[in-house]
Structure 1
Amino acid sequence: MQFHRFENSAALNSNFAKRLIDLLEAGIAERGHAYLAVSGGRTPQALFSHLAGTELPWSKVTITLADDRWLAPDAKDSNERLVKSVLLQDKASAAHFISLVTTDERAEDGADAINKRLAVIPTFDAVILGMGEDGHTASLFPCSQELAEGLTIAQDALAVNPTTAPYQRMSLSKQRLLNTRHLFLHLVGAGKLPVLNQAVAGDDVMQMPIRAFLHHPCVDIQVMFASE
């Protein structure tokens, strides 16, 4: 783990956006296309705005989500809605997007279709994770019966039914999230630091799933943190 602390979120987002653009440019130059997985919520919105206004051959970039709530794509709490309304704007509107939802009523019923969509993605150039106060990341919740499956399965995505958060979810698995050239954990807020410290200090991944990424022996996760 490498910990990067910034004076404020504006400095973090400016630096982080540049790093991501450099990685995407390198992916396009070396392999003809770049792949990025992002997280939803409030934390990445300013970062998304930075990226959206940056020059890049966005038509050669494919973006998907680390997880999404099982909602219509235009629903208020949909991560897809956030990505489309903030990130896939301006110059970045030319990027390709792979959705993690279908029209099936239950997430379990749409899992096969989602896995077929994700099968076209090779190794990500970058994955951006978030972290909840309970130590969850993506939709790998410590409260869910599906956690052990999400931490061990070889398939790309799975349906998750958290008991301490609303909505069914579709989440990328640990293996799919780790299949990346660069892994980031994006944290904003003073309250995130004690949670991170608790996660670093222990090794029970079932208690705090983010530990599976912080302590992975082969992946050097980059923690991007600002207290405000």
Structure 2
Amino acid sequence: MADLRIHDYDSRVDLDICLAREVAAALETALRERGVASLAVSGGRTPVGMFQQLRQMRLDWSRVWITLVDDRWLPADHEDSNERLVREHLLKYQVEAANFVGLKTAAATPEAGLDAVEAALAPIPQPFDVLILGMGEDGHTASLFPCSAELASAAALDNPRQVAAVNPTSAPYARISLTLAAIVRSRNLFLHLTGTKKKAIFDAAMAAPTDRLPIARVFDAASGVCHMYWAE
């Protein structure tokens, strides 16, 4: 089980600034030690402010690879696309120089696109130097939904794939997601949460002795130090 360290902040702005600095520092360490760095980010409303802080960090972004933890199987310009969110809020100014790899292909379904996505991700340095997760109110993280029939396979630690197709029954759209095995291999794993309700859900998920929700499975399987950043 991971050594999970909790970082509480008085404001979301303070959280965004501090998390962006920690992410940039981890990427800088990777660039110094290995010459390249890799970053996987989540979508939704929560990371927007952090993205806007991170894009101000002075790094050699041309040596950084960026991808998504998960995405809806939608065109990249769709309003609900995580790729669109990242392009609008992170891949700006100096970060435009980064090597970005999206998870959506021209295939009709995520199942049909799995091999192409795996091939697109192949050049990205692995394990990820930094991976940032969010969490839904049902305890899902990435697109590992507790309601989905694909959860057992996508969350299997011996799954050799980096990505899985997921069809949640409690949320719209087919999805593509990094597998749990790919997530927990990351060198620096961060969970970014806001709001008292999500904090309570997270605490309950971590305390449950059985029927582990996806967010708890991450920290059950991760090793080393992981971080949860939270503000009300």
Q: Check conservation: 1:40, 1:82, Cα contact below 8 A.
A: yes
Aligned to 1:47: 50
* Residue-by-residue CA offset, 1:87-116 (whole Å, 9 max, x unaligned): 000111111111100011111100111111
Task: Tell me the secondary structure at the aligned position of residue 221 of structure 1.
Answer: strand
What is the one-letter code of the residue matched to 1:200? M
Q: Check conservation: 2:38, 2:65, Cα contact below 8 A.
A: yes
Cα deviation for residue 196 of structure 1 reads: 0.9
| Partner Cα distance (2:163, 2:209) in 1 | 24
* Residue-by-residue CA offset, 1:137-162 (whole Å, 9 max, x unaligned): 00000000000001112210011000
Map 1:131-150 → 2, pairs under 5 A: 131-150=135-154
Task: Report runs of 4+ in structure 1 exceeding 3 Å deviation.
Answer: none
Identity, % of aligned positions: 44
* Residue-by-residue CA offset, 1:167-210 (whole Å, 9 max, x unaligned): 000000001111211101000111111101111111445x5111
Q: Does residue 1:120 correspond to 2:126, yes or no? A: no
| Partner Cα distance (1:18, 1:208) in 2 | 29
Q: Check conservation: 1:204, 1:211, Cα contact below 8 A.
A: no
Q: Does residue 1:38 correspond to 2:41, yes or no? A: yes
Task: Tell me the secondary structure at the aligned position of residue 20 of structure 2.
Answer: helix
Q: Check conservation: 2:185, 2:222, Cα contact below 8 A.
A: no
Label 1:204 to 1:136 Cα distance change in 2 as closer, same or farther (>3 A): farther
Q: Check conservation: 2:46, 2:193, Cα contact below 8 A.
A: yes
Q: Does residue 1:186 correspond to 2:192, yes or no? A: yes
Map 1:14-163 → 2, pairs under 5 A: 14-121=17-124, 122-152=126-156, 153-163=159-169
What is the one-letter code of the residue matched to 1:125? D
Q: Check conservation: 1:213, 1:219, Cα contact below 8 A.
A: no
Cα deviation for residue 59 of structure 1 reads: 0.4
Structure 1, gaps ≥5 residues long: none
Cα deviation for residue 118 of structure 1 reads: 1.7
Equivalent residue for 1:222, pick from 204, 216, 227: 227
Task: Tell me the secondary structure at the aligned position of residue 77 of structure 1.
Answer: coil
What is the one-letter code of the residue matched to 1:222? H
Cα deviation for residue 217 of structure 1 reads: 5.8
What is the one-letter code of the residue matched to 1:148? A
Map 1:197-216 → 2, pairs under 5 A: 197-204=203-210, 207-216=212-221
Task: Tell me the secondary structure at the aligned position of residue 143 of structure 2.
Answer: coil
Q: Check conservation: 1:143, 1:162, Cα contact below 8 A.
A: yes
* Residue-by-residue CA offset, 1:61-105 (whole Å, 9 max, x unaligned): 000010000000010000000001110001111111111000111
